[in-house]
A and B are shown apart, each in its own frame.
Chain A
Amino acid sequence: MTAHALELRNLRKSFGKTEIIRGVELAIEKGRIHAVIGPNGAGKSTLYNLITGLHPVTSGRILLKGADITDKPPYEIARRGLSRSFQVTNIFPRMSVLENVRCAMLWDLGYRYSFWHFVGRRRDLAERSEAIMEQTGLGSRRNVPAGLLSYSDQRALEIAITLASGADVILLDEPTAGMSRSETEQAVALIRKISQDRTLVIVEHDMGVVFDLAETISVLVYGQIVASGPPAEIRANTAVREAYLGPEAA
């Protein structure tokens, strides 16, 4: 049996006495687009923070491509090929778009903490950053300080940084939050494009986007996965309807 891209085993997290994640079991297959949905406060962001090492877990295990990454520091996890975007734009505001993208690929291309290479003279850096900026439509903005970009360009940069690290497992946190209809369409097209040789996990509130993109959907309610399956199955599931629309509707 080949290992899953990402596997959560009986994952739990408490903040003080409140248990936010209550025994999550989740297996994400390689090369899939897997959406995690759930009402506000279900624990979706906490789940991401546990997977990426931002918070220590209370109990349970997290496996990335079969290897245990539970409670490793975020940079260790990133080096093993897991990358995430943030719901609230999290970029390097005083650096240019090109610098932002380039910073994200330095480790993966083996530059580590080098102080004897010039970033402007390396062909591998130039090629990959060109490709990433092209893919995310940021080419014409390359020299603009990231803090001055428009909101939708900053969202695109958020994804560009996430991609640039060369990770094959990518966690997107509400990639279309706050976008207009047409911007959302562009973002969906971009996500579909980048999903081709990668595993994608998406947390998203826009159900149109979720049912459009996802091959598998898991529903998180009060820190537990109540249902997992292909979109059609989830759409028909009573537990899901209950969680979203209240018991009367079900």
Chain B
Amino acid sequence: MAGLARRSGIWLAAVAVVLVLPWIFSSGFAITTLNQMGVLIIFSLAYNMLLGQGGMLSFGHAVYFGLAGYSVAHVLNGIGAGTLPYVPVSLLPLVGGLVGLLFGIPIGFVSTRRAGTVFAMISLGFAEMMTALTLILIVFFNGEEGVQTDRWAGPEPFGITYGPDIQVYYLIAAWCLLATLAMYALTHTPFGRMSNAVRDNPERLQFVGYSTHRVRWLAFALSSFFAGMAGALHALNVEHVGFETVGVGQSGLVLFMVWIGGARAFIGPIFGAVVIAFLNSNLSGITEAWLLYLGILFMVTVMFAQGGLSGLILMHESIWKTDVRLFRPMVRPYALGIGATIVACLGAIGLIELIYFMSTRSTRDTGTSLYSVPVDAASLLPWLVCAGVAALGAEACRRAYRPMAASYADAIETVKAGAAR
């Protein structure tokens, strides 16, 4: 019972956060970012049903996201023009989910016969095919222009028009909470458990009576449903669906989000979606090199933190559950390690920005600003300073990481010794 209370406590807290957020971040820009986060949270949780829970690496999950987006845009336009019967706009995410399911069932049947490389290649094939179709099936996809729509369609129940962004925020928030709850609940069902089992050991799964194909297919279909729901909300949010939403780019983005956030924990994709959506809307305005930074972040997590950002936090879970005081000797080495990393990054980012500026500038003017400091990129000084800071940071990292790892190992040793007793 205590467990139940604690778990519902987390959900109530989530509801509270969702209700309060737009009061704190009330600017139009912030609401747009929050809306994007909500959409991407659903999409990445759906994707993680495949990757983290079912062990299937897909390069084409945007197909269900995008197709649902297009469909919902057409439905909205139909309602607006009076050619389609009225469906409350609030329920359109369900329509999107059903569209995702409709495509996920047959495509899933074909592609989940095999896992691993074969599955990944088939998913890539479908994504490429959809991208090609956007230029062929003009009636539905409208080529490179995409489909424009207006979410202010039909009657206005309780005065909800979805005109202002804040109303869309609450729509996305409500569906995001519902979808998250549903996907979390799914992990505790027989299907969810067998999905983990097929990831861990597909051979043994067959000897306890399960067909690996059926389990993967079901996971694929349900995941497509939630991806479709996210696509529908995307269409409602930006009132435009373009060819890029069904393709490899969008599919890669969701893989990035899930991996950077961490595929092993349920909360990982939420983390990833929030971080990426935040960086996307904030960094893309500040630096043109933002995709490069995203790529580097992805590579670093692949190489050094396979559990993603959530994994870095959760690897300390057993420590705080045992005794929070165990963190005390870790504070200093961790502070040094993190500080050194920040210094190294500041230097490296400075260099990258200088290179980027010099190679992409359109005028002869070499004056730019770095960290709000005006600099002349043609002079040697900013280059030397950045290189110096980067080198200093790298050396500091080299010295600080070992004590940091050692302090972690010590704490874990203590935890293990305690557990053995």
Residues of A within 8 A of B (CB): 52, 73-75, 78-79, 83-84, 86, 90-95, 99, 102-108, 111-120, 161, 164-165
Judge if B395 is at the interface, Cβ distance under 8 Å. no
Contact pick for B201, options A83, A91, A114, CB 8 Å: A91
In the complex where A92-B197, A103-B194, A113-B215 touch, is A78 in contact with B204 (Cβ < 8 A)? no
Asked if B218 contacts A92 (CB within 8 A), the reply is no
Question: Closest CB-CB distance, A25 to chain B, in whole Å?
Answer: 25
Judge if B186 is at the interface, Cβ distance under 8 Å. yes
Asked if B201 contacts A118 (CB within 8 A), the reply is no
Asked if B218 contacts A75 (CB within 8 A), the reply is no
Interface string of B177-219 (1 = CB under 8 A from A): 0000000011011111110110111011111111100110010
Judge if B222 is at the interface, Cβ distance under 8 Å. yes
Q: Report how far A75 CA is from B209 CA in the complex, Å.
A: 4
Q: Is the interface of B mostly helix, strand, loop or mixed?
A: helix
Q: Report how far A73 CA is from B215 CA in the complex, Å.
A: 15
Question: Closest CB-CB distance, B184 to chain A, in whole Å?
Answer: 11
A-B contact pairs, 11 of them (CB 8 A): A73-B211, A75-B206, A75-B209, A79-B209, A92-B197, A92-B204, A102-B193, A106-B193, A111-B190, A113-B215, A115-B218
Question: Closest CB-CB distance, B373 to chain A, in whole Å?
Answer: 49
Q: Report how far A79 CA is from B205 CA in the complex, Å.
A: 12
Chain B residues, Cβ within 8 Å of A94 = 196, 199-200
Contact pick for B189, options A73, A115, A164, CB 8 Å: A115
In the complex where A113-B214, A119-B193, A120-B188 touch, is A91 in contact with B209 (Cβ < 8 A)? no
Q: Report how far A120 CA is from B190 CA in the complex, Å.
A: 10
Nearest A residue to B189 via CB reads: A115
Asked if B210 contacts A107 (CB within 8 A), the reply is yes
Q: Report how far A90 CA is from B216 CA in the complex, Å.
A: 20
Q: Which of B202-245 contact A (CB under 8 A)?
A: 203-211, 214-215, 218, 222
Chain A residues, Cβ within 8 Å of B188 = 118-120
Chain B residues, Cβ within 8 Å of A113 = 190-191, 194, 214-215, 218
Chain B residues, Cβ within 8 Å of A115 = 186, 189-192, 218, 222
Chain B residues, Cβ within 8 Å of A86 = 204
Asked if B192 contacts A103 (CB within 8 A), the reply is no
Contact pick for A114, options B185, B190, B204, B207, CB 8 Å: B190
Contact pick for A117, options B189, B205, B210, CB 8 Å: B189
Chain B residues, Cβ within 8 Å of A74 = 206-207
In the complex where A74-B207, A113-B194 touch, is A93 in contact with B201 (Cβ < 8 A)? yes
Chain A residues, Cβ within 8 Å of B194 = 103, 106, 113
Asked if A78 contacts B209 (CB within 8 A), the reply is yes
Question: Closest CB-CB distance, B43 to chain A, in whole Å?
Answer: 20
Chain B residues, Cβ within 8 Å of A165 = 208-209
Residues of B within 8 A of A (CB): 185-186, 188-194, 196-197, 199-201, 203-211, 214-215, 218, 222
Q: Report how far A120 CA is from B193 CA in the complex, Å.
A: 11
Q: Report how far A210 CA is from B215 CA in the complex, Å.
A: 38
In the complex where A90-B203, A106-B193, A106-B194 touch, is A75 in contact with B222 (Cβ < 8 A)? no
Q: Report how far A46 CA is from B207 CA in the complex, Å.
A: 16
Chain B residues, Cβ within 8 Å of A120 = 188
Asked if A95 contacts B190 (CB within 8 A), the reply is no
Chain A residues, Cβ within 8 Å of B201 = 90-93
Q: Report how far A52 CA is from B215 CA in the complex, Å.
A: 20
Nearest B residue to A99 via CB reads: B193
Asked if A114 contacts B189 (CB within 8 A), the reply is yes
Given contacts A74-B206, A86-B204, A106-B209, 9 further A-B contacts (CB under 8 A): A52-B207, A95-B196, A102-B193, A103-B208, A105-B208, A107-B209, A113-B218, A119-B190, A119-B192
Asked if A161 contacts B189 (CB within 8 A), the reply is no
Chain A residues, Cβ within 8 Å of B204 = 86, 90-92, 161
Asked if B190 contacts A106 (CB within 8 A), the reply is yes
Chain A residues, Cβ within 8 Å of B193 = 95, 99, 102-103, 106, 119
Question: Closest CB-CB distance, A53 to chain B, in whole Å?
Answer: 8
Chain A residues, Cβ within 8 Å of B200 = 92-95
Asked if B209 contacts A118 (CB within 8 A), the reply is no
Q: Report how far A73 CA is from B206 CA in the complex, Å.
A: 8
Asked if B191 contacts A114 (CB within 8 A), the reply is yes
Chain B residues, Cβ within 8 Å of A107 = 208-210
Asked if B189 contacts A116 (CB within 8 A), the reply is yes
Chain A residues, Cβ within 8 Å of B203 = 90
Chain A residues, Cβ within 8 Å of B218 = 113, 115
Asked if A118 contacts B196 (CB within 8 A), the reply is no
Chain A residues, Cβ within 8 Å of B209 = 75, 78-79, 106-108, 165
Asked if A118 contacts B208 (CB within 8 A), the reply is no
Q: Report how far A111 CA is from B209 CA in the complex, Å.
A: 11
Chain B residues, Cβ within 8 Å of A114 = 189-191
Q: Report how far A113 CA is from B209 CA in the complex, Å.
A: 11
Q: Report how far A73 CA is from B209 CA in the complex, Å.
A: 10
Chain A residues, Cβ within 8 Å of B206 = 73-75, 78
Q: Report how far A83 CA is from B185 CA in the complex, Å.
A: 30
Chain A residues, Cβ within 8 Å of B214 = 113
Q: Report how far A93 CA is from B218 CA in the complex, Å.
A: 22
Question: Closest CB-CB distance, B289 to chain A, in whole Å?
Answer: 37
Chain A residues, Cβ within 8 Å of B208 = 78, 83, 103-107, 161, 164-165
Q: Report how far A91 CA is from B204 CA in the complex, Å.
A: 7
